[in-house]
Structures are given as C-alpha cells and as structure tokens.
Structure 1
Amino acid sequence: MSTRDETVNTTGEAAGATPDQVASAAQRLEEAHRTGVPCAPVRDLLPPGDLDAAYAVQSVLTERRRARGRRVTGWKIGLTSVAVQRQLGVGTPDFGALLDDTAVPDGAEIPWGSVLQPRAEAEVALVLEHDLLHERHTVADVIRATAFALPAIEVVGSRIRDWDISAVDTIADNASSGAYVLGTRPVPLRDLDLRTAGMVLERRGEPVSTGAGVACLGNPLHAAVWLADTLVRLGRPLRAGDTVLTGALGPMTAARPGDVFEARVDGLGSVRAAFGRAAQEAHDAQEGDVR
C-alpha cells in the first residue's frame, strides 16, 4: 500500500469542502467503480486532511447505491492498527458501510475484477441483536447487544490507482471496502476470548498472514465500542441486525486470479474466500478443454 503523509483535520474546524468539491470526488470514484479502471487520488479535490469532507463523499456514494436498490447491512471498521494509523497520519480508526451486494457466501466465487486491486484480511464479525444508542458505550454494552460472532474475510479494494491513498482517500472510498465473506457457525461471545484469539490466513493452503485479536485496537470489542460511539454522534446508530466487521487481525494479503483464501480464528472456526480467474485465463482454460 502506497501512502502519503498529510496534516489531517480531526477537529472539524477547517473551512470544509464545497458541494462541488464533494460531488467531483464522488464522481471520480464512481467512474472508477463503473469502468473497473482505478482513478487518481481524490485528496487533490478536497481540502487537505479534511476527514469530514471525505465522509461526505462516502455518504453521497452510499446514498446513490441505496437509491439503486442496495441495502446497508452493517459497517466495517478500518485503520485499527496503530502502525497503519501512523502511516496515514491519523489517530483514530475509520468506518465504511457494508451493502448487501458486497456480501459473498462462504466459499462462493468472487468474480475477478468485481473488486479493484483486491486484498484479503481476516477479521471477527459481530452480528447485533439490540440497538446501541448510548452517547458513550462500554464493552459490556456491546457484549449485551451482540447476538453472536462469526469469522470473516474482508476483501478490501481501492478504486484509487496503485493504492496511493491518504486517510482522506480511503475514507471517501468507503474505507476501501470491496466485499466480505462470513462464516456460518455463530458463536456467542460468552464462549470466546477475542483478545487472545489467534488467526491464520492461508492462500492455497500456505500461511500468508497471522495475528490475534489484540492487534485490533487491543481487542475487537474495543473497535466495536469506538464505532458505536461514533455512529451515535453522527445520528445513525448501530441497530439490531447490523453486521460489524471489527478490523483486521493481521496484515492484509494481495489476491490474484484463482486464489482461494481460508481464515481460521480460534474459537470461531473458519471461512473461505475464492476468486475467479481473469478473463484471459478463463478463456485459455476453456480453449484447452475444447482441444
């Protein structure tokens, strides 16, 4: 991932972006998504380091997808690694919306090209049974509100060429959300210690990433508390039925055509993400079958 240092506004005191600036950034990202051709960063279209402007772009793009019939199924948390936060010059995580058309069944094929520049990372997903409406939440609040946990693979992707991103770029780009795969064996939190839960992510049977719950803000539940508080402040709290991807348990890994990833998380079991072959590879294989 290529990153660029910049001074980031986290106080909300900057002049802010104009509607035209927000619209221009949204259009650039939407065109990249539509054409499958990554675009230039959008940070040059917005006030330097203005995270509020970046979230405004994200909101515009999410609302456009909802207007086309998509449904928000939950939220993803990004930048849960302190090292990555330092890379991007921020002191907090970020978030993006999960939509129904980005949910992929366990082991089902993700068509190559449907996620631009895809990378896979293993996470803990929480599925909520109750709303989280307090101004400030505790870990106990999150535990009480959670119906169960699942292992997850998030396929992050960037509409921005060569992953040349700043914090403004990734937030505007829906926190670099691409697709997500959930395991199918729900586990109640009372049976888990998420802080110490170990993770191994394999590609075609070879380990490519390892980690544990402690890598995600010290505990995936801490990340969920941050998200719950943040969304209440923004007037769109977490609701019963929401899925929350709490953040990566280890380093992300670039995906290639035909790759199959399997993530195993202690106490949660496993989940698989499979990528289709590139168009030329599929054509060559079909020609070989004919011959």
Structure 2
Amino acid sequence: MVDMLPPDVRREVADALEAAERDQRPIPPLRETWPGLDVVDAYEIQLLNIRRRLAHGAEVRGHKVGLSSRAMQEMMGVDEPDYGHLLSDMVLSEDRPVSAGHYCYPRVEVEVGFVLGAALPGVDCTEKDVLVATEAVAPAIELIDSRIRDWDIRIGDTIADNASSAGFVLGPERVRPADIDLRGIEARLTRNGEQVAAGRSDAVLGNPVTAVAWLARKVAAYGVTLEAGHVVLPGSVHRAVDVRPGDDFEAVLDGLGTLRVSFTD
C-alpha cells in the first residue's frame, strides 16, 4: 500500500493548483509530479483550496457530482462518482457574458439542478429523503475546467482540482420534483444556434436523485452536510462541449425550462 502524502506535500499540490487557476497556466498531471497521491489525498487537497477561498470571503453554495456516468467511471477506473464544491465566486449569470480567457480549457455541461429546501441526512440518506428535501429542480449549466494540462486527468487529478468545476448558472424556472419525471427529462444544447449535444437525465446513474443521495452520504464522511438553500448539480446529461470565445450557448430541458450563457474573449 502506498503511504498518503504528508501534510506539507499536500499543501504543495494545493499551491500548484491554486496558481494554475489564478494564472490560467495549467500544470502537468498531478500523478506524474506526485505519484504517491491517492483519492484521500486528493479530497484533502481540494479542501485546502476551498478553505483558502472561504477565508477570502467566498461562501459554499452547494456541491457538484462528477463521473456520474458508468462510461466515465470505467474510463477513470473507479466504481463511484466524485464531488466538488460550488462557491459564491463560481456563480454565473445569464445576463452577464463570461470571459473565456479567465479559464484554462473551459467546457459546458447541461444538468438538472436540485435546490434544497431542507438539509439532507448524511450516511443514511435515501432517494426518498432527497425528494422530500428538494424544494425544486431547475435547468442548469455547469462550466467545467481543468487546471491539468490538456485535460490529461485521472481520478486523483480531477478530485484535487475541485472535480474540475469552475462555475455554474441556474435558469429562472423552478419545478417541484413531484411535478416532473426526473429520470426522463430530455435536454438539448445549442452553440451559436447549432445543436452540439443532447441527452436525458437518466444518463446520471439512471436517476439524478440517486446521485444526490450518494453525495449526501459521501460528504458526511468529511463532516459536511448538504444544507437548505444549497444547490446540487448531480452530473451532466451529455458529453462536455468545448467553449470558444464568442460562443453563445442555449440549453433546453423539456418540462423544466431554458437557459443561456455566453462567452467573450
């Protein structure tokens, strides 16, 4: 068994990721520079940088689930998803264009966002608990990015890098979970008027509710609770789409709503 990285080395990795994000200068895969890094190290490194941002005034707005499709898990050689944090400094707006140059390798994904009206239980959280606690679902676009050069990532790389999360936007519509088939939401993404991706919500572990329940159980091991008011992004319904300066994206989720996000130079 490989020993976990010592605390000073974890801080070194966190420093490298923080600088890569700040300067938009991606770094080589973490597994090459720090071959002893494992999943536990990666989550602790993620938390180091999250705590730094919180200390500078950011607030936790929720969490995202990554690797929520079986195909992505197989590609990464894992048997469960991963997760990252959604912070107040990651909130995007439909009304304010985003600078593509602020990121290393930006991509977008369409998701069904869960807005919690009550806190979720931890280690014993069930899908029923998720449905009871969810105030509404909303159309969402997650902006993902990798501070790892050329998106050359494995599980430790992406977890340490906040599960490759960079931003998110929710559309204005809110639908109660009881009023929509959460497994059968068809979604389409257009870029500059041309459809570039499509999918259905059951691409997320067969049911996005399953991903939210998994998340509540997973973060409980780190002393974290999914609170009322938090947003949970359970995973993409389609492959990620590259962002180019000047792109204008529109996501349409049947029965749920429409939202847009645009990018400048």
Structure 1 counterpart of 2:59, from 71, 76, 94 = 71
Deviation at 1:68, TM superposition (A): 0.8
Aligned length: 265
CA contact (8 A) 1:58 1:172 kept: yes
- Asked if 1:19 corresponds to 2:7, the answer is yes
Pair 1:134–1:31, CA change in 2 (3 A): closer
Find the residue that maps to 2:101 and give its secondary structure: coil
Deviation readout 1:174-213 (Å, 9 max, x if unpaired): 0001111110111111111111111101101111111101
Deviation readout 1:102-126 (Å, 9 max, x if unpaired): 1011242111222220011100110
Query: Which residue of structure 1 aligns with residue 84 of structure 2?
Result: 96
Structure 2 counterpart of 1:221, from 209, 216, 219 = 209
Q: 2: CA distance between counterparts of 1:152 and 1:127?
A: 11
Query: Which residue of structure 2 aligns with residue 149 of structure 1?
Result: 137
In structure 2, stretches of 5+ residues that fail to align are none
Structure 1 counterpart of 2:230, from 229, 242, 247 = 242
TM-score, normalised with respect to structure 2: 0.97
Query: Which residue of structure 2 aligns with residue 9 of structure 1?
Result: none
CA contact (8 A) 2:120 2:227 kept: yes
Q: 2: CA distance between counterparts of 1:252 and 1:14?
A: 33
Query: Which residue of structure 2 aligns with residue 123 of structure 1?
Result: 111
Q: 1: CA distance between counterparts of 2:84 and 2:187?
A: 23
Query: Which residue of structure 2 aligns with residue 267 of structure 1?
Result: 255
Query: Which residue of structure 2 aligns with residue 4 of structure 1?
Result: none
Q: Within 5 Å, give how 1:189-208 maps onto structure 2.
A: 189-208=177-196
CA contact (8 A) 2:5 2:36 kept: no
Q: 2: CA distance between counterparts of 1:46 and 1:53?
A: 11
Structure 1 counterpart of 2:150, from 156, 159, 162 = 162
Pair 1:104–1:228, CA change in 2 (3 A): same
CA contact (8 A) 1:123 1:246 kept: yes
Over the residues paired in the alignment, what is the CA RMSD in angstroms?
1.3
Query: Which residue of structure 2 aligns with residue 114 of structure 1?
Result: 102
Q: 1: CA distance between counterparts of 2:93 and 2:208?
A: 23
In structure 1, stretches of 5+ residues that fail to align are 1-12, 278-291
**Percent of aligned pairs sharing the same letter:** 43
Q: 2: CA distance between counterparts of 1:23 and 1:201?
A: 38
